[in-house]
Amino acid sequence: MNAVLEGLEPVRVFYYFEQLSRIPHGSGNTGKISGYLVSFAKEHGLEYIQDELGNVVIFKEGTKDAPPVILQGHMDMVAEKRPDSGHDFEKDPLVLEVDGDNLTARDTTLGGDDGIALAYALAILESSEYEHPPLEAVFTVDEEIGLLGARGMDLSCLKSKRMINLDSEEEGILWAGCAGGGSIHVEIPVRYIQSEGEQVSVSICGLKGGHSGSDIHQKRGNAHILMGRFLYELDQAAEYEIAGLSGGDKDNVIPARCDARLVVSPGQKEQFFSFIESWQRDIRREYAGSDEDITVDAKMGGEGTYEVLDPSAKSRLLFFLMQVPDGVYKYSGVCRHLVETSSNLGVLRLEKDALYGVSGVRSSIESAIGHLKEKIGFLAEFLGGTAEVSGCYPAWEYRTDSQLRGLMAEIYEEMYQTRPKIMAIHAGLECGVFYQAIPGLDCVSIGPDMKDIHTPDETLSISSTQKVFAYLLEVLRRL
């Protein structure tokens, strides 16, 4: 085991978490971790299924005769790193570190979402010490990019009508519903002309970013939307043209940085930098308490002739960024404080032929998802472009008669003398796919405390990991 994790209890949970951290497993790169799970099943003499997508199901007989239970989590992690990190997610292991009660990874996402689910399940599957019903441990691929593994999986091999999903990030909450959603890919054609001036590289950076589902209510800045506002307001203060624009590569991550290449007209440099200073001061005041470190970083390049957007393309780009829905669109009128509908412009690229953008939309109401798709699509069409929808996944509807949830709430209260919260989450969980495919499925989602998932600041609480594992064992014993 990695020296920094040695001695942590429960030993086998942290052992497996460390083993998994050595295997690159960003979304779209889960082949090796899928193979690791198969090797584990063979080593321990457990029946397993591995499908063509790489999803793996491992079966284990119960210690007593009882109806089976599904334990479920996903293999892939969001692969994000700090701008100055040289980490290669295709081949490098994560470098784990302990900071007090928190487990982190050096300069990268930790992968606690959802590596801790796999570590919990493997520790249980290998042991002969724990009492449990028959187990169907389901490990899916590519959850973070549209629940692709779960949506493409043949679930007829599963016999259970009870499922414990291990993909939540707040201990003491029993999650009982989640949003559905999808990705909207926008393409707006552009044209270029030649323009003389001084090139400037501008970055909107210093933002916190975060998960576009569980963090969307934090009112953090979206670097793409802020760049659009910056460029629109700069247009009123100084003469410039747009030569390049890029930011983000995942629509379920609130972008923390956006980069632009501008060409400032001769004689406009003083107005340009004066505007940057005042704009940064104003925007930090607006985001005080939620994203107060927003920074506009500008570096001058050389003078010359450059390819820039023609006036029409520039106007359409600014119009799109000023009008595209982003952030919380509507709160639920039924569940207090629950975000019902949201949109996140997570990917933005200005290429030779078009401006490309990808928005992740979520809602617990199917018709609201449809409305956002139509709204963004209509905006794209109005600007002469197109919009396509992909990666749609269903919502997990709240079930009023959940015997599993009732028992799990009772056990938590007995163990920790406090009643757990019963909540729905705005993030997308694979529970919706399973709930739709398995008639009568009774499902609950739990997990230990994690913060800043999908960012290099991601942390996993060691004490909460221990507490939730003890709780999971007791739930399985009682089931």
Return the structure tokens found at 282. 């104003």
Alpha-carbon distance of 253 to 267, in angstroms, equals: 39
Active-site entry in 18, 80, 114, 143: 143
Cβ contacts of 315 within 8 Å, gap of 6 or more: none
Tell me the C-alpha distance between 177 and 48, whole Å: 29
CA dist 406 and 400 (Å) reads: 10
DSSP annotation of 157 reads G
Query: What is the β-pairing status of strands 192-205 and 258-264?
Result: antiparallel
Among residues 18, 76, 167, 326, the one annotated as catalytic is 76
DSSP 403-428: HHHHHHHHHHHHHHSSPPEEEEESS-
The upper half-sphere exposure of residue 7, i.e. CA atoms within 13 Å in the direction of its Cβ, equals 3
Whether residue 143 lies in the annotated active site = yes
- What separation in angstroms does the CA of 212 have from each of 176, 180, 293, 404? 19, 13, 19, 29
What is d(CA 188, CA 170) in angstroms, rounded to the nearest whole number?
40
Q: Which residues are known to be catalytic?
A: 76, 143
